[in-house]
Amino acid sequence: MEKQKVKLYVKKEASEPWADRGVNRLQFRREKEGAKGACRILMRTSIGKAVINANLYDNMSVTFAEQKDKKDGSMKKTGVILTIFNACENSEKQIVLLKLGSQEAVEELHGLIVKNTRK
């Protein structure tokens, strides 16, 4: 997956509202320790400051964010919701919503994360 522009929303508890953290570039990184190396997601601002630096872990919570299409009423995949431990926030648990521009990009990111977290 190439670097993609992603809209980031964050919250610490499920009952809290989403906090908008802006549009940044998301990278999916695999450590160079062979094919089974650890994977992580990294997101940086336009000036290079990391806003997400989180390892993917076994049985990580990964779901689609869906929104009703205004034209035909069908459900459209708009993003991916993850529970992470963000190294940029003192490794605190966070629930993040990554919104992407197309359903194909959403499905690609979801598949990539699921493939590298489910053992």
- Residue 111: CB partners within 8 Å, gap ≥ 6? none
Whole-model pTM?
0.84
Total Cβ atoms within 10 A of residue 35: 5
Q: Which residue carries 């989180």 as its tokens? A: 54
Residue 33 — pLDDT band, cuts 50, 70, 90? low
Q: What percent of the chain has pLDDT over 90?
A: 32
What order do you get walking across the sheet with 19-30 strand by strand? 50-55, 39-44, 19-30, 4-11, 92-99, 75-86, 62-68
pLDDT digits (tens, 9 = 90+) for 46-68: 898 999 999 888 888 888 988 88
For each of the domains in the chain, give its residue range(s) and CATH number, in order of start: 4-115 (2.30.29.30)
Q: How far apart are CA 91 and CA 111, in angstroms?
A: 24
pLDDT for residue 4: 83
| Residue 72: per-residue pLDDT | 83
- Give the pLDDT of residue 6: 92
pLDDT of residue 82: 92
How many angstroms separate the CA atoms of 61 and 110, rounded?
Answer: 11
What pLDDT does residue 1 have?
Answer: 60
